[in-house]
A and B are shown apart, each in its own frame.
Chain A
Amino acid sequence: MIRVVLPAHLRTLARVGGEVTLHVEGPVTQRSVLEALETRYPMLRGTIRDHVTLKRRAFVRFFACEQDLSHESPDAPLPDVVATGAEPLLIVGAMAGG
């Protein structure tokens, strides 16, 4: 199972508490994880990536294993420890302070 940590606002929308766990068929990539996430929680469609282009929203970041994976290809494999569920994929609202 893949573990995903959502930012607070998206946990509220999805009506979940802590981490969510997802079953992902095939290669574990950003795209396959997001597809599994949006299938299970369709209210999150459009909030992490654009409805049409499927591009990551500008102020959303993907972290795992203390690395920023936001600029990786959506079809690149995620780290093995994410694929095995040892580490979560963090979906994070980017810093935008001032």
Chain B
Amino acid sequence: MSGIRLLVGTRKGAFVLTSDGKRKQWDVSGPHFAGWEMYHLKGSPVEPNRIYASQTSSWFGQIIQRSDDGGKTWCQPGTPPGEPTTTPDGSPKGESNKFVYDTSPETGKPLTTHQHYDGTQRPWEFKRVWHLEPSLTDPDTVYAGVEDAALFRSTDAGQTWQELAGLRDVKGNLWQPGAGGMCLHTIMLDRNNPQRIYVAISAAGVFRTDDAGKTWRAVNRGLKSQYELPDPDAEVGHCVHRIAMHPSRPNVLFMQKHWDVMRSDDGGGSWHEVSGNLPTDFGFPIDVHAHEPETIYVVPIKSDSEHFVPDGKLRVYRSRTGGNEWEALTNGLPQRDCYVNVLRDAMTVDSLDPCGLYVGTTGGQVYASANAGDSWEPIVRDLPAVLSVEVQTL
């Protein structure tokens, strides 16, 4: 029997929820790192017991944690407990929370400035890790999307981090923070092409590399931000909330933008809108069914000024046609007096058959569907606000 492990990051700690393949009975462990904001946890696809976690605090900054036993025990990768704190030659061991923008002449870029809320230019300043994306092939390699927006990579299991600084070359001076900060929040690796990576940044847009991170280009043609940008068709500056793809069709991308649900059939070369009959096309998460590349899910919320679901009803919307035609999935979800949000990393799909779907809310509920969204049950109802949900099919 297969098993499921959900990694839930919340405003006040992390939780690990486990079940067998039936996905009916769940064990809950946690809080891990109680009191800290756990932006994201994600396991290695090639070594599932290896899990990376972003632990952060307005007081004490960024910590990276790693588990090598499926979330039972954790360590800061640079300084495992009980080991000497220096290398044999006396140098300090890796500092796993050291994210320093690369300004070296060999590989880096001058640390220029980006736009701030008030229109002034501000230098890049590291704040936190929003998203961790383990490599598809090497358990020691993991990418980190950070605020202020940049992409870092570790090839020593999270001990040390190097920026892929070429990304900031793509009109970085025009990037600007959204209300949540200027964050690189989505990292998509292409299983069919190890040289290709997509990232998405609020508020800058989608960027693609075809040389494993050395050089980048903006892939935002077709996005329109009429009320957010002076030039609605600008090359960069769009507030992309999340992107998703099915591994079998890496050129087909789906996007939940600030407003608009979008689709690209050419690896981001051009986008077109597929919002169709959604009640509102504002939202944060978007994901693709594990076995049906044209079945996609979003969770619309009312608007940019009212970050909760419309009409007091939590509805996940499903399109079986790759967009445009959407159906509301409501069975088992609250349909009155509900005013939660589902954040960008708080929806995920497992790879069992039928496909399982999970959403975590800002109200602290995690809902599970074991039948691709047809019906739902709460796993937990009273966690702190959920920031992220990732699933491992074991």
Contact = CB atoms under 8 A, between A and B. Distances in A.
Interface of A: 7-10, 13, 15, 39-43, 45-48, 50-52, 57, 59-60, 93-94, 96
A45 to B, nearest CB: 5
A42 B78 contact: yes
B79 A43 contact: yes
A93 B76 CA distance: 21
A9 B57 contact: yes
A47 B93 contact: no
Contacts of A43: 63, 76, 78-79
Interface string B68-96: 00000000101101000100000011010
B35 interface: yes
B58 interface: yes
A60 B58 CA distance: 10
B210 to A, nearest CB: 32
Interface string B49-69: 000000001111111000000
A46 B59 contact: no
| Chain A at the B interface: SS class | loop
Interface in B207-254: none
A35 B36 CA distance: 25
Chain A to chain B: the 6 pairs with minimum beta-carbon distance, closest first: A47-B60, A59-B59, A93-B59, A43-B79, A46-B97, A42-B85
Given A15-B81, A51-B100, A42 B60 contact: no
B95 A60 contact: no
A29 B218 CA distance: 49
B79 A60 contact: no
Given A7-B60, A47-B97, A59-B59, 9 more contacts: A15-B81, A43-B76, A45-B97, A46-B97, A50-B61, A52-B100, A57-B61, A60-B60, A96-B58
B191 interface: no
B98 interface: yes
Interface in B179-231: none
Contact of A13 (B58, B63, B85, B92): B63
A57 B60 CA distance: 7
A89 B35 CA distance: 24
B63 A47 contact: yes
Contacts of B62: 46
A9 B31 CA distance: 14
A45 B168 CA distance: 26
Contacts of A40: 85
Given A9-B36, A42-B85, A42-B95, A47 B61 contact: yes
B79 A42 contact: yes
A43 B92 CA distance: 11
Nearest to B75: A43
Contacts of B76: 13, 43
A9 B95 contact: no
Contact of A60 (B59, B81, B100): B59
Given A13-B76, A39-B85, A43-B76, A51 B60 contact: no
Nearest to A38: B92
Contacts of B81: 15
A59 B93 contact: no
Contact of A9 (B59, B85, B100): B59
B98 A45 contact: yes
Contacts of A96: 58-59
A46 B61 contact: yes
Nearest to A13: B63
